[in-house]
Chain A
């Protein structure tokens, strides 16, 4: 499991001073860690599209935000991506939990979205990487390079037990 404090410090060093989103149980340790790390302001949003809107405003203002959400929440942000963040070239890092896989066999509400998560990322032209414990820094570097080169949102998919 990636150390939450190291993870947030790494993102802070990469220039992220804001975070927003809607929680997933996979991210509970990271969200708790926001309490200790005052260098990143966390804005709890009511919906994931609202969070993309907030991150877009932050990007308009020249700062960086990452956005946390479940893949169920990713299913609600199509318009926020296509008619705002992607259209206006507003970079942001989406950190998306990959629910609906084997550990979620008792949560049928996640099953279909788990199956189509990669298809929907591809469908909306969002470059993505699965973030794994063994090489998470390298993966984030790759994602941020793409984000900076394209000035558009990129995504990290996170399975259970990674963060």
Chain B
């Protein structure tokens, strides 16, 4: 059985309450969030390695909102130290979803080194509450259940998802980054 990262993003639509702000990572993940989920969100374009810190800052500045950060494995590894900072600050309104396809899919699916990671013990070591990872052969009901647990968590929470890599071809996000920032100014706290 296969489960692609974009399918997890599509599944997210059914658990969103509308009170969340998503911080999505440069490349495919931002494009998929733009195409498959309600708009507007914070679609990062560059700044590889920084979605977790951006989500952390956003969670601190907007304590009344749920901040969902969606990050790939290559991106997570580039900014791994930020998990320490995130655990230290522990904003209860921050949720991180790791979409690990073991590849730099946006640049042509070159492999990452993430295959050696064991997420539950990694996250336990960082002191970060986490949910049993989504696996490729999880039935869809179980995937939905894990997403719901993650989004409903009353504290900082990370959900890793081990997925297959086959991103759909999507057009680029048509909004200029300055517009993405402007849209946030109009969202009430």
Q: Which residues of A pack against B, CB within 8 Å?
A: 18, 20, 41, 43-47, 49-63, 65, 79-80, 82-84, 87-90
* Bound Cα distance A90, B180 (Å): 11
8 Å CB contact of A53 from B60, B82, B177, B184: B82
Verify if B129 is at the interface (C-beta below 8 Å from A): no
Q: DSSP majority for the B interface?
A: helix
B82 with A62: CB separation less than 8 A:
no
What A residues does B58 contact at CB under 8 A?
Answer: 57-58, 60-61
Q: Which residues of chain B from 5 to 61 have a CB within 8 Å of any chain A CB?
A: 23, 26, 42, 44-61
Known A-B contacts A45-B53, A46-B82, A53-B53; A60 and B42 likewise in contact (beta carbons under 8 Å): yes
B61 with A61: CB separation less than 8 A:
yes
* Bound Cα distance A59, B177 (Å): 14
Chain B contact residues (Cβ within 8 angstroms of A): what range? 35 or more
Interface-centre pick from B23, B82, B180 (highest chain A CB count, 10 A): B82
Apart from A55-B57, A57-B55, A62-B185: 8 A-B pairs, beta carbons within 8 A = A53-B47, A57-B60, A59-B57, A59-B61, A60-B42, A63-B61, A87-B45, A87-B46
A50 with B177: CB separation less than 8 A:
no
What B residues does A45 contact at CB under 8 A?
Answer: 53, 82, 85
What B residues does A55 contact at CB under 8 A?
Answer: 57
A-contact 0/1 string along B72-112, CB 8 Å cutoff:
00000001011011001100000000000000000000000
What A residues does B49 contact at CB under 8 A?
Answer: 49-50, 53
A62 with B46: CB separation less than 8 A:
no
In the complex, the 10 A-B pairs of residues with the closest C-beta atoms, listed nearest first: A57-B57, A83-B46, A61-B61, A53-B53, A46-B81, A53-B50, A84-B47, A57-B58, A63-B61, A58-B57
A44 with B60: CB separation less than 8 A:
no
